[in-house]
């Protein structure tokens, strides 16, 4: 018994020392492909120094800031849209730990079109989780995608029609308060009644307004941007299959220089040539890679039921389908897959790809302590290898703590 007590004291001491210790990690800097040593302490980067060569020459891994995903509906069997109190803090922790394994060090849990009751309940729970020290600050705020979107089939995507509604400021304010004022972005359709006023009011509060699941014309899109809308949500998706070749919502979103675009690069949501064109038009500074990943990620292929009891099919290739409406049902791939895919499709540099999956979202949402490897920033970093257009995560550090090592 005495020995056990001594052991416990020893372990506690070691833990205490570890939290004060300085950590040094080497890798090939993602911006230059040159070897660097990154030193950090108490969760903050102290220095990034060029070195002559890596100590461990057998593992020439790239070192980069952790990925930041602005659209995570759930992960690893946990949906942020679970009803009936099924969403728990343990579930959120599980999803977060699984995201760490995929290089995601910060994310916006995303709630899609649903009843006000469910949105309130889940935002309250998620806001509590955001402050949970075990999550190491990985939840940076929330994305509300809907319910103020187009009710029209195709543009609505897989969002349930019965919960789609017109913008209602009182209703939104209640959601905002339930989130502890942590809704960072809202995706809405600019053409619905009341949308313009909603865009102005939410922009004035510092909320990033995104346009998505809409069928707005050029005048409406430009007017939304003038009022403060800053980004298109998953451009090229949330759009009907049959559109007019001249008058459709895609061209004006591409043509508007002030509008950024988030794109899903999972290999299913967009054809390679769409990604190539969107990237050519928007460029590396105005493109954000997003995942739109759902609870089905990491699960084996098969047929599943969503919370409404409808069948969702996850194919062997990793495509997530909603057969009843013949639309995709979000994705089953984390954002790390998108990073590898965009390099393959566009030939862009790894530096640009990481920029679109970390630096750009950090800037857009005002996360000034993230999104780059510089002294003073949070020690959120990843070590990875690129193999056959795939990002193989080797290690993930969140707030200076090693949270994942590849086995």
Strand partners, 405: 395
Strand partners, 187: 145, 210
Q: Which of residues 271-330 bind Zn ion (CB under 5 A)?
A: none
Site of tokens 């530096």 = 351
Cβ–Cβ < 8 Å for 65, 97: no
Residue with the CB atom nearest Zn ion in the bound state? 238
With b for 16 or more beta-carbon neighbours within 10 A and e for fewer, the 165-199 pattern comes to bebeeebbeebbebbbebbbbbbbbbbbeebbebb
Q: Is the peptide bond before 141 cis (omega within 30 degrees of 0)?
A: no
* Least Cβ distance, residue 330 to Zn ion (angstroms): 7
Residues 6 or more apart in contact with residue 357 via CB below 8 angstroms: 67, 68, 69, 288, 289, 335, 336, 338, 339
Closest CA to 77 of 90, 95, 89: 95
* Least Cβ distance, residue 213 to Zn ion (angstroms): 6
Q: What is the DSSP string of 291-311?
A: --B-TTTTSPSEEEE-TTS-E
Judged by beta carbon, residue 71 or residue 360, the one nearer Zn ion is 71
Judged by beta carbon, residue 188 or residue 364, the one nearer Zn ion is 188
* Least Cβ distance, residue 234 to Zn ion (angstroms): 6
Judged by beta carbon, residue 25 or residue 250, the one nearer Zn ion is 250
* Least Cβ distance, residue 186 to Zn ion (angstroms): 13
Residues 6 or more apart in contact with residue 298 via CB below 8 angstroms: 75, 76, 77, 98, 332
Judged by beta carbon, residue 141 or residue 238, the one nearer Zn ion is 238
Cα–Cα distance measured from residue 276 to residue 387, given in angstroms and rounded to the nearest whole number: 21
- In angstroms, the first-to-last Cα distance of the chain is 34
CB count within 10 Å of CB 209 equals 23
* Least Cβ distance, residue 211 to Zn ion (angstroms): 11
Judged by beta carbon, residue 35 or residue 238, the one nearer Zn ion is 238
Q: Which of residues 202-261 bind Zn ion (CB under 5 A)?
A: 238
Q: Which of residues 22-61 bind Zn ion (CB under 5 A)?
A: none
Cα–Cα distance measured from residue 283 to residue 305, given in angstroms and rounded to the nearest whole number: 38
CB count within 10 Å of CB 323 equals 12
Site of tokens 């970093």 = 381
Cα–Cα distance measured from residue 116 to residue 190, given in angstroms and rounded to the nearest whole number: 21
* Least Cβ distance, residue 238 to Zn ion (angstroms): 5
* Least Cβ distance, residue 160 to Zn ion (angstroms): 13
Size of the site for Zn ion (CB under 5 A): 1
Judged by beta carbon, residue 267 or residue 355, the one nearer Zn ion is 267
* Least Cβ distance, residue 73 to Zn ion (angstroms): 9
Judged by beta carbon, residue 30 or residue 155, the one nearer Zn ion is 155
SS3 (DSSP) at 336: helix
Judged by beta carbon, residue 66 or residue 238, the one nearer Zn ion is 238
Judged by beta carbon, residue 190 or residue 238, the one nearer Zn ion is 238
* Least Cβ distance, residue 282 to Zn ion (angstroms): 18
Judged by beta carbon, residue 240 or residue 390, the one nearer Zn ion is 240
* Least Cβ distance, residue 264 to Zn ion (angstroms): 9
Closest CA to 318 of 306, 336, 305, 331: 331
Residues binding Zn ion (CB under 5 A): 238
């Amino acid at each position: 018994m005495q020995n056990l007590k001594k052991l416990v004291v020893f372990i506690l001491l070691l833990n205490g020392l570890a939290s004060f210790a300085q950590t040094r990690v080497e890798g090939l800097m993602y911006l230059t492909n040159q070897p660097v040593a990154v030193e950090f302490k108490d969760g903050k980067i102290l220095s990034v120094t060029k070195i002559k060569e890596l100590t461990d020459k057998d593992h020439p891994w790239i070192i980069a800031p952790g990925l930041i995903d602005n659209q995570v509906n759930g992960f690893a069997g946990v949906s942020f849209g679970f009803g009936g109190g099924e969403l728990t803090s343990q579930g959120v922790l599980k999803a977060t730990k699984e995201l760490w394994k995929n290089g995601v060090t910060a994310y916006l849990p995303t709630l899609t079109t649903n009843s006000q009751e469910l949105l309130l309940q889940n935002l309250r729970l998620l806001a509590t989780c955001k402050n949970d020290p075990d999550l190491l600050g990985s939840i940076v705020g929330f994305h509300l995608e809907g319910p103020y979107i187009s009710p029209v089939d195709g543009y609505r995507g897989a969002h349930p029609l019965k919960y789609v509604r017109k913008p209602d400021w009182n209703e939104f304010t209640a959601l905002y308060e339930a989130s502890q004022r942590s809704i960072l972005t809202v995706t809405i359709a600019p053409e619905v009644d009341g949308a313009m006023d909603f865009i102005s009011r939410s922009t004035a509060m510092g909320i990033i307004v995104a346009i998505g699941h809409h069928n707005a014309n050029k005048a409406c899109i430009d007017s939304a941007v003038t009022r403060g809308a800053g980004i298109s949500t998953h451009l090229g998706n949330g759009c009907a299959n049959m559109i007019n070749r001249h008058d459709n919502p895609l061209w004006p979103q591409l043509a508007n220089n002030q509008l950024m675009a988030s794109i899903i690069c999972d290999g299913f949501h967009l054809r390679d040539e769409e990604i190539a064109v969107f990237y050519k038009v928007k460029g590396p500074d105005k493109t954000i890679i997003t995942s739109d990943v759902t609870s089905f990620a990491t699960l084996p292929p098969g047929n599943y039921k969503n919370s409404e009891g409808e069948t969702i099919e996850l194919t062997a290739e990793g495509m997530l389908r909603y057969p009843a409406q013949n639309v995709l049902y979000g994705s089953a791939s984390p954002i790390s897959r998108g990073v590898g895919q965009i390099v393959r499709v566009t030939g862009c540099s790894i530096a640009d790809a990481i920029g679109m999956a970390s630096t750009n979202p950090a800037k857009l949402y005002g996360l000034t302590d993230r999104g780059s490897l510089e002294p003073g920033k949070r020690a959120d970093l990843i070590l990875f290898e690129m193999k056959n257009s795939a990002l193989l995560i080797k290690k993930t550090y969140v707030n200076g703590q090693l949270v994942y090592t590849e086995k």
